Amino acid sequence: MTWLLRVRMLSFGFAGKPRTHIFVARVRVWHIQHPIDERRQAIAQAADKAGRTRDLLARRGIDCRTITGAGTGTFEFETASGVYTELQCGSYIFMDADYGRNLDRDGAPTKAFEPSLFVWATVMSRPTEDRAIVDAGLKALAFDSGPSLVCDELAASLGDKVRLIPGHCDPTVNLYDWYVAIRGGRVEQLWPVTARGAVY
């Protein structure tokens, strides 16, 4: 299992005041964001180690009030542990297709969050009744975490638009210059993607 526990001292001061030191423990479990039993076990181990580290620091007179970490696939376990004081989930804001394939405790697809990031595509070909070819490939969507999902009913004819839920939101966003924020079917705002094209 790959996980990381870092304890950092943040030190700051203000004009004429003594320096203040804050200790922060950051825990991150990589690659254990999907199968539910693996998630539960990994977070139990990480939370145990983080809690023991916090207690060890306390015995040495070092107050570590912040234990931070978590992921979209594991936040419920970090929350339930009682160890974490801050969650740093990221993908939940978009809820890509990869996280959307996670199963909850009942074995059903998770409904903790809903997708909010879509790529519009146009139907270019209909080779069969149950298949459409769209104009969104590797230059429009990241495929490193699996395929995208079609959000809408399969379009009936050439030129129709469909919304795709990206397989992995982070590298998909990296392919675009702007977010187009839509509310009630109308464009409300444009937000620049400031890191567009940066190495992921």
Q: Which DSSP helix (H) or strand (E) runs through 185?
A: none
**3-89 and 119-192 agree in CATH topology:** no
Q: Out of 32-36, 158-162, 171-175, pick the least confident.
A: 32-36
Q: What CATH architecture is 3-89?
A: Alpha-Beta Barrel (3.20)
pLDDT tens sequence across 126-150: 998 888 899 999 899 999 988 999 8
What pLDDT digit, counting tens, does each position of 58-112 carry? Answer: 888 888 888 888 888 888 898 999 998 888 888 889 999 998 888 888 888 888 8
For the chain, the structural domain boundaries read 3-89, 119-192
In words, the CATH class of domain 119-192 is: mainly beta
- Give the pTM: 0.78
Closest CA to 152 of 186, 122, 184, 107: 122
